[in-house]
Amino acid sequence: MKLLEKARDKEFWKYVRESESFKAHRDDLLKMYNSYAVNDLPAVKYSEFKMFWGSGNRSIYEKSYFSRRQALNAAAFMSLIYPENEEYLNKLMDIIFAICDEYTWCLPAHQHVLDKSNKCVIDLFASETGFALSEIYTMLEDRLDPLIKDRIKKEIEYRIITPFTSVEKYSWWENGTNNWTAVCTGSVACTAMLMFPDTARELIPRFMKSVEFFLSGFSDDGICFEGFGYWIYGFGFFTVFADMIKTFTDGKVDYFKDERVKTIATYLQKMYLYENVQISFADAINNSKYQLGLQHYLKDTYPSDVLVYDFKLSELTDNCARFCHHLRSFTWFNEKYFYSPDPISKNDTYYAKDAQWFIKKTPSYALAAKGGNNDEPHNHNDVGTFIFAKNNRQIIADLGRGTYCRQYFRADTRYDFLETSSKGHNVPIVNGKFQSEGKEFRCKRAEYENNTLTLDISGAYDCNELTELTRRFDCSEEFVSVSDSYKCKGNLKIVERLVTYDEPKHTGDGKIVISDATLVYSCATVDSVVILPEKTSEGKDCYLISFILKEGVTHFSFSIR
């Protein structure tokens, strides 16, 4: 069997063109083509490239960079679906020519130095670009001009294959345990398999060693600590790689027989609290779209374990125009799941012992709570935090990902952001101190039994006076009770913090109304309640609720329904 056999089949693309099932794909693609490919490509300017080293801004340069990738995708797929229209192929070759002219395929945030010319840094997006061009080359080889084909092959060899093969280990990401490892290794490996198969065969042990590191980054429960979107990203590229290497080795390398992979494949469905609300721990957002082709492939691979939800909750590509995902939204699309999706459960309980995550869904509400430590991938200082959702929205919220800029990824400034600091999470403030970052700042004990989760989160605070902070979640079918008990040396000044997107209304009688939920607490333990409006780094409105406990109080509880 050839690599990309289905994608090379002209009859398949003819079916895409004619089938009603692919109408949404075609409509989305035409809109994308008109938005990004019809006009001239934006320049990728040096003045914008170097902004990252000054203000820390990365979005201005990236807007032009990713607009080019959107145009590349659109022109490539239009060329495949409508081969008689030369406009699409000519536009595609113009775009490829321009991308081959780029100083570097790496983003400024990953380039590291500005004072020396280096066109060959392999980051996430350089490796993705090489992979995208290799897939386009493979599918359209008989129609591309000889110069374009030669440029693709030479640029991939120069920018990707030669730098990678010239050293025993290219970068930290070869032995990493996060999305970088899967995306970079997977992209380099798939590019080599398509363009330089003899080299790829020699590198198989190296690729497999790297992938083993990636898989070790998940909890034994299959939890992705980086967040929902990074599971799609990292595990998505792993799945593409695993599928391709299985074909390349005639089935000798088959990751889909690995029980770990099957467990990780069920992660996505656990993250849905409601139709439009996901768990937004770490650098996630609470309303991500799932990748259509990826989820259909996993469902085909593990039909009894994986769920596929309504098409409207999916996306065919994303704002970074990841070509391999976009291609597989066509080639891995299964009409059966399109017309008969699985329902999102409103009755579910899941405890991930290794990750220390607890998820509870009833017809009345949904809860997600976590222990963990403060050195997780894409870490937020959030040991003991939780989300309470009701009627398709987060009531007690996790703000998720902040603005990606230089400061957001610097160790000395990362926790200045509301989204990453425990200031912006649903956890206490003890003696004026927020939680500290580092693996040693962790949940010291996690126990679950009969819809009750108990966590000792005292280890997340650099506070000698605090000896124990037991947070307990008791879940009934109608409401959740949260209680914190403190043990200490001397007195503690305690502020209990909650975060919400909806303006809270404090009635003054031990009740706070947030949207259509009601929180009830004991006035006897609280000196005052302060509600402050805030803005996230993305400019979204939110509110910080502070329960300032009376001196000497070592227990605080509330219920919410």
Sign of the alpha-carbon torsion through 90, 240, 288, 272: positive
The predicted pLDDT at position 1 comes to: 60
Return the DSSP state at 458.
G
Establish how many alpha carbons lie within 13 A of residue 326's alpha carbon, considering only the half-sphere containing its beta carbon: 27
Nearest Cα neighbor of 459 from 490, 425, 430 is 430
The predicted pLDDT at position 115 comes to: 86
Q: Model-level pTM? A: 0.97
The predicted pLDDT at position 295 comes to: 98
Cα–Cα distances (Å) from 72 to 27, 103, 142, 346, 555, in that order, read 17, 17, 18, 41, 59
The predicted pLDDT at position 97 comes to: 98
How many CB atoms lie under 10 A from the CB of residue 446? 24
H helices, E strands: number in the chain = 18, 23
Cα 455 to chain centroid distance, Å, stands at: 26
- Output the CA angle 465-471-477, nearest 5 degrees: 170
CB within 8 A of 549, min separation 6: which ones?
494, 495, 496, 525, 526, 527, 556
Return the DSSP state at 161.
I
Euclidean distance between CA atoms 500 and 502, whole angstroms: 6
CB within 8 A of 47, min separation 6: which ones?
none
Strand-pair category, 445-449 with 511-514: unpaired
* Residue numbers of the chain with a pLDDT score lower than 70: 1
The predicted pLDDT at position 491 comes to: 85
Task: Provide DSSP, 384-418.
Answer: T-EEEEETTEEEE--------STGGG-TTTGGGST
The predicted pLDDT at position 112 comes to: 83
* Domains defined along the chain, listed by start: 10-339 (1.50.10.100), 348-560 (2.70.98.70)
Euclidean distance between CA atoms 18 and 85, whole angstroms: 16
Helix (H), strand (E), coil (C) string for 198-218: HHHHHHHHHHHHHHHHHHHCC
The predicted pLDDT at position 45 comes to: 96
- Output the CA angle 508-510-516, nearest 5 degrees: 90
Tokens of 352: 């991930």
- Please write down the long-range contacts of 146-155, taking CB distance under 8 Å and 24 or more positions apart: 148/93, 148/96, 148/97, 151/96, 151/97, 151/100, 152/96, 152/100, 153/195, 155/100, 155/130
Residue 52 burial class via C-beta count within 10 angstroms: exposed 0-12, middle 13-18, buried 19 and up: buried
Is 433 in a helix, a strand, or coil?
A: strand
Under a CB-based contact definition with an 8 Å cutoff, are residues 511 and 520 in contact?
A: yes
Under a CB-based contact definition with an 8 Å cutoff, are residues 415 and 424 in contact?
A: no
